Chains A and B, each alone.
Chain A
Amino acid sequence: MFGWEFPPHITGGLGTACFGLTKGLVKQGVEVIFVVPKAFGDESKDGFRLVNASDVTLDFTQAWTKEHLERIQFMEIGSNLVPYLDPEEFETVVNKEVLTGIQETQSVFSKQYSFSGKYGPNLMQEVSRYALVASSIATTNTFDVIHAHDWLTYPAGIAAKKMTGKPLVVHVHATEFDRSGEHVNQPVYDIERQGMIEADLVITVSNLTRQIVIEKYGIAPEKVITVHNAVEPVDHPELSGVTKHVKEKVVTFLGRVTYQKGPDYFVEAAHKVLQRDSNVRFVMAGSGDLLNRMIRRVAKLKIATKFHFTGFLAGPEVDTMFAMSDVYVMPSVSEPFGISPLEAMRSNVPVVISKQSGVAEVLQHALKVDFWDIDALADAIYGILHYEGLSKMFIRYGKTEVDNLIWENAALNILEVYNKAVYK
């Protein structure tokens, strides 16, 4: 299995999902070799092997390396790219380095690569090198299926498949359309598409994403299978002491303040609710390229005394924020899955989510609205705040619903996909 990150060293949902999934698979009796670009040594790895790509030595003198060079097409990519999910890095990363093609690649070939394992400016370079190392790992280990998570590892997956002939399963956690709207990064799109084409089967985290893969990447529907994400059951007993210091009800947006997450709809809905009921506070927790615009809009609407910005929250702060919230809102414009509503529900917070999120496909005890329908969004928030029956229902059924979305079940579905890929 090729991943890019692994807890605790994660920047987005991908690492968490890979971790949960791997544990689920191990529980289903699957042996997993998980390859990450850089292992820090403190990763949790019960029951499976974590291979650090940085430890693998490539030796040019060996025959297989030459063979490998012949059989693998490197995907060289101009590197002025803004790579992955992390909002903090999303903003203004411009890479001044340019890959000079095969020559430079060869010049660093016969040594150990040190991968940063971060989503940085050298990302494209790392992706290529990771692919190279992947083929080495592929030939020195035995396995039945290659499983690659998101576009960063697709070249690695393809390389491994070319070297061994084993079936490749690519796992789409997000597409370039989710990250960038319609203005896609062509090289990233190309890698994604290439990975899906080379793959024997494609796993998507929701039917929403499946649709995108079929329609925008032109992949045959029968090759694309949805396996919904799950969550790790966690209890936060230490949070029982959290009290909020305002008497009003608190409605929370938590996530990157970017186009994809629909923060503007949250602000407009807040304005509508506040016109009717001043006994509410709204919180926007997170940062991103639209944050300043949101602050200006809140000021212009003159709701700033009831609408608060916390900036980026991490770890325990997130849990505290949930504990203080009466409603959690995720108005995402496009969300392949969206794990945060599940975390909110786990903390007994009722959620309003957009119908344009994959998680809406698996949740019943949540209010679902179209992200653009500000009236419906405002109405849903108002309903939860004012009609007691709703929060009672959500608290009664929501946590149970989330607790049942376990990785072991998702892993079972993945196992089916493996079987299909191997015995097809």
Chain B
Amino acid sequence: MRSICLYFQVHQPFRLRTYRFFNIGQDHHYYDDYQNRHIIRRVAEKSYLPANNLMLSLIKEFGSAFKVSYSISGTALEQLETHVPEVIRSFRQLADTGQVEFIAETYAHSLSSLGNKDEFVRQVELHASKIEELFGKRPTTFRNTELIYSDHIGEIVADMGFHTMLTEGAKHILGWKSPNYMYCNNINPKLKVLLRNFRLSDDLTFRFSNQEWSEWPLTTEKFVKWLNKIEKNEEVVNLFLDYETIGEHQWKETGIFDFFSHLPETVFSNSNFSFSTPDQLYHKLQPVSAISVPHPISWADEERDLTAWLGNELQDEAFGKLYSYEAKVRQCKDPEINRDWLYLQTSNHFYYMCTKWFSAGEVHKYFNPYGSPYEAFINYMNVLSDFMIRVDESLNVKEPSVQEAEPIPASKRKSSPVKAAVKAKKKPAKGVKKAK
């Protein structure tokens, strides 16, 4: 029996409100509560809830033959808990079937794996604990924000005790190799690596409703025919998708729900595939080889690199400034500062600053609340400026000696412990630049 690994990413950021420079130092609420509430409710109604119900009914129908896995970011979980707790309940029901694996990621869906190792580890722990608390099982599989992966990141993940990690089956790392096997990390072979089959996955996420597409409409029969065309000795087809694909990116009217509700049935009757979770695959499959990824990859865009989030002057300045405060935030006990610290790290903020889609990219515009990357940057920097003042003030009150008793917040950035922190964090970021 060969396997289909069906995995969904669930993520929503805390979008920032319009935050002007004259709010700096006066107003410490950064989030567009109305927008965030509105979006999470809409997506829950159009996608999460009906999709969960669909998965539940498939599990009831097919028992252990049908399996699915999820990663849900901490920022999405929090918003669901506050605004649509029935989604959490419905995920719990899925967890209770025993056919669903919940996967760990960074709590804030952040780029911390590229910014600061300690922060990365802390956030993964935080998320794993949250998942355990909600769904009763500590994750053993890890997937990084937007499937970002490199040999080095994999090594850190292995050290944290995860045995499997998901990433993109990017053409430029695979070459002639197929993504449909189990691989392992190039530095620590104990970590098994599953690679996304981007062709079949993108058929569902991007092309499903595209009437210009020569394969439209996509039926389960056609999809299973493609699965059957895969070489007989290839072991696993990894379909890694945004959960919002079902019902939000692809509306109900496109037939996406019908597709998924008929998929298991067609798979079972017309092929020798079955459904597995990453954890099952870890126990079942041996790696065919190590996969070498010296520079980080992701599942974004044609390039499958990091340029959606990092690399232009805006993104690099925002990212650098943010992580230059990691050491300071560590010393802060204020729960609100620590909360904002997480929310401000969410990758979406950097994605909004990307300039490479000026001409093309409808997908990106759809997800971007800002008129231009410049507006996104200014707004983020205003918020970050206020955040930095708060961190400095909080430290000043508690430990004035640490900051060499300088009264002006701006000058504090120059103090030596921070500089050291900046240097330490720049290292992975440089690797990023080379990757381009």
Decide if A240 is an interface residue (CB 8 Å cutoff). no
Q: How many residues of B are counted as interface, with CB atoms below 8 angstroms from the partner's CB atoms? A: 22
Q: What is the distance, in angstroms, from B357's C-beta to the closest C-beta of chain A? A: 10
B372 lies within 8 A of A364 (CB): yes
Chain A 219-248 per-residue mask, 1 if CB under 8 angstroms from chain B, else 0: 000000000000000000000000000000
Within 8 A of B (CB), among A266-301: 272-273, 275-276
Within 8 A of A (CB), among B308-326: 312-318
Decide if A387 is an interface residue (CB 8 Å cutoff). yes
A contact residues around B216 at 8 Å (CB): none
**Stretch touching chain B among A12-20, A79-87, A198-206, A390-398:** A390-398
Within 8 A of A (CB), among B16-54: 20-22, 24
Nearest B residue to A393 by beta-carbon distance? B313
B contact residues around A365 at 8 Å (CB): 374
B358 lies within 8 A of A364 (CB): yes
Q: What number of residue pairs across chains A and B have CB atoms under 8 A from each other? A: 67
Decide if B375 is an interface residue (CB 8 Å cutoff). yes
B317 lies within 8 A of A388 (CB): yes
Q: Mostly helix, strand, loop or mixed at chain A's interface?
A: helix
**Stretch touching chain A among B169-177, B228-236, B256-264, B376-384:** B376-384
Q: Which has the most chain B C-beta neighbours within 10 Å: A387, A390, A396?
A: A387
B377 lies within 8 A of A383 (CB): yes
A396-B378 contact, Cβ under 8 Å, with A272-B22, A379-B20, A389-B318: no
B contact residues around A346 at 8 Å (CB): none
A276 lies within 8 A of B372 (CB): no
Chain A 376-414 per-residue mask, 1 if CB under 8 angstroms from chain B, else 0: 101110110011111011001100000000000000000
A390 lies within 8 A of B374 (CB): yes
Decide if B355 is an interface residue (CB 8 Å cutoff). yes
A386-B20 contact, Cβ under 8 Å, with A367-B372, A367-B374, A367-B375: no
Decide if A368 is an interface residue (CB 8 Å cutoff). yes
Q: What is the distance, in angstroms, from A381's C-beta to the closest C-beta of chain B? A: 9
Q: What is the distance, in angstroms, from A42's C-beta to the closest C-beta of chain B? A: 42
Decide if A375 is an interface residue (CB 8 Å cutoff). yes
CA distance A378 to B378 in the complex (A): 11
A368 lies within 8 A of B371 (CB): yes
CA distance A397 to B317 in the complex (A): 17
Chain A 343-366 per-residue mask, 1 if CB under 8 angstroms from chain B, else 0: 000000000000000000000111
A276 lies within 8 A of B313 (CB): no
A389-B316 contact, Cβ under 8 Å, with A367-B375, A379-B378, A383-B382: yes
Nearest 3 pairs between A and B by C-beta? A389-B317, A383-B378, A382-B21
16 CB contacts below 8 A, A to B, read A276-B21, A276-B22, A376-B20, A378-B21, A379-B20, A379-B21, A379-B382, A383-B378, A386-B381, A389-B318, A390-B377, A393-B312, A393-B313, A393-B374, A396-B313, A397-B355
Binding site for B on A (CB under 8 A): 272-273, 275-276, 364-368, 375-376, 378-380, 382-383, 386-390, 392-393, 396-397
